[in-house]
A and B are shown apart, each in its own frame.
Chain A
Amino acid sequence: MPDSTTNQSDHGTKTVSLFVTCLVDQFFPNVGEATVQVLKRASCEVTFDNRQTCCGQPAFNTGYREEARVLAKRFIEIFEPAEYIVAPSGSCTAMVRNFYPELFTDEPEWHERAKSVGAKTFELAEFLTKVLGIETTGALYNGKVTYHDACHLLRELRQRNEPRRLINSVEGVELVEAENCDTCCGFGGTFSVKYPEISGAMLNDKIKGIEQTGAEIVVADDCSCLMQIAGGLSRQGIKIRTMHLAELLAQNPNNRLRK
């Protein structure tokens, strides 16, 4: 049971409807579980609506707006009643918040609904720092870590310092910055398979930058980036691990949550 040294907000416990994202759901369920853990330790009640599937980003990014619209409407209907929606992914959150309204420029009612849902959809680090005002999750992890700025998190949601503050709050962690920490890893959705050589070249530079830090682990807040980076590290036989931010923040909890 989490102890009650937490600073509760004036509105009492927050209920979060988890938007786990299809990638995490099927490939990286640990990330989903870590997210739930972190939210629970932050005194949130977490629910999971198992009707959810995908936010539609792959379709939207490839230019298939009709298909994306169908999935967006589904998402909106499912998540509308929630108090907060939190996702362990910068790109999926950006899809909902920044791009859903674009899908409904010709449908004013859906446009409004999209904006309302977007206003309460947050990426995890964002939610912890901005909404809950939390500066640490009381985690413990001894090791050298480097952080990769996922592009949508950085340039669509404008989160740069927030994830870093949370990482630095993990006891025992040494955060070393890669010189190219904010350069794209080369994923870019279907770009990674449409232009595999360019994607691979960008990935190589990202990996070089990570290696130069001497870190054992590269942390990012987006599984698509981690999939790309891990895929390259694995293929090149490099022994650096990838870890999602949620997983790092859930390490060895000591139940001390401070604001």
Chain B
Amino acid sequence: MTVVKSGQSKATIFATIKKALQTPSHVIDPGRPYKVPSAPRQFAADLSTRFVDEVTRLGAGCFVARSNDEAKGYVVDLIRKRGISRVALSNSPVVNQTGLSSALSSISIRPLIVDFDGCRDENELSVRKRNIRESLLQTEIGITGVTYGIADTGTLVIGGDNEYNRLASLLPVIHLAILRSDQLLPDLPTALEGLNRDGHVNQAITLITGPSRTADIELTLTIGVHGPKELQVVLLQI
């Protein structure tokens, strides 16, 4: 079966649009509702406090570390306490700097390193991708870095610089993100500015705001649907 490209339809649709727009709009303004008193929350002045606040309110775990060692210690502790054995590490700068890989081997855990570079050919790449994917589907905790953290909303941005891996933040049961405080931005407009390079953006950018959730049954909130059931954030306070 040939793929229909529908070039004719495009022309038809555009022609219809142009003709439609020849008639100017008739605007009837709906007016402004009576002003409801707003009660904007007072935000902490510094980004880190604000960020931690928001992340916690989303029901995600948040730990502030003052050094790479402290961060590493927290993560290893968490893994050990929960009896987790299947760990994935994204091959990103902040994660690497914590030295987690070797720390985990010292407790007999061989983490899956999510890294697609360095394959010699297409076949090897395809095999590695399949293996990583299948492993991630069984992984208990996926540890990644971020591109930015957004203080206003407790959001993690991945898919730009410093963290290109998406599946490691999506497939495991727990997603743990490590970020440095100098990766924090105040709000979404600022983050969008950073992500947009002259009209070009990376192929897949994801904003993660809390663990996965649904309220589809009786509008009752349930945490943990298809995405990770739990979100943990480690903020490396520089």
Direct A–B contact in complex, judged by CB atoms less than 8 Å apart: yes
A23 within 8 A of B: no
B34 touches A160 (CB 8 A): yes
Across the interface, B32 reaches (CB within 8 A) one of A102, A105, A156, A158, namely A158
List A contacts of B28 (CB < 8 A): 102
B26 touches A155 (CB 8 A): no
B31 within 8 A of A: yes
Across the interface, A105 reaches (CB within 8 A) one of B26, B31, B33, B34, namely B26
List B contacts of A102 (CB < 8 A): 28
The minimal Cβ–Cβ distance linking A210 to chain B, given in whole angstroms, is 21
In the complex, residue of chain A having the shortest beta-carbon distance to the beta carbon of B26: A105
Contact residues of B: prevailing secondary structure: loop
In the complex, residue of chain A having the shortest beta-carbon distance to the beta carbon of B34: A160
CA distance A202 to B184 in the complex (A): 49
Chain B contact patch, size range: under 10
CA distance A98 to B28 in the complex (A): 10
B34 touches A158 (CB 8 A): yes
Chain B 12-30 interface mask (CB, 8 Å, partner A; 1/0): 0000000000000010100
List A contacts of B33 (CB < 8 A): 155, 158
In the complex, residue of chain B having the shortest beta-carbon distance to the beta carbon of A182: B34
A227 within 8 A of B: no
List A contacts of B26 (CB < 8 A): 105
A154 within 8 A of B: yes
CA distance A154 to B36 in the complex (A): 13
The minimal Cβ–Cβ distance linking B24 to chain A, given in whole angstroms, is 12
List B contacts of A105 (CB < 8 A): 26
CA distance A102 to B27 in the complex (A): 10
Q: Which of B31, B32, B33, B34 has the most CB atoms of chain A within a 10 A radius of its CB?
A: B34
Chain B 35-66 interface mask (CB, 8 Å, partner A; 1/0): 00000000000000000000000000000000
List B contacts of A161 (CB < 8 A): 34
In the complex, residue of chain A having the shortest beta-carbon distance to the beta carbon of B35: A160
Per the 8 Å Cβ criterion, residues 79-115 of A in contact with B are: 102, 105
CA distance A154 to B26 in the complex (A): 24
The minimal Cβ–Cβ distance linking B25 to chain A, given in whole angstroms, is 12
List A contacts of B31 (CB < 8 A): 155-156, 158
The minimal Cβ–Cβ distance linking A146 to chain B, given in whole angstroms, is 18
The minimal Cβ–Cβ distance linking B56 to chain A, given in whole angstroms, is 32
| Other contacts beyond A155-B31, A156-B31: 10, CB < 8 A | A102-B28, A105-B26, A154-B34, A155-B33, A158-B31, A158-B32, A158-B33, A158-B34, A160-B34, A161-B34
Q: List 12 A-B contacts (CB under 8 A).
A: A102-B28, A105-B26, A154-B34, A155-B31, A155-B33, A156-B31, A158-B31, A158-B32, A158-B33, A158-B34, A160-B34, A161-B34
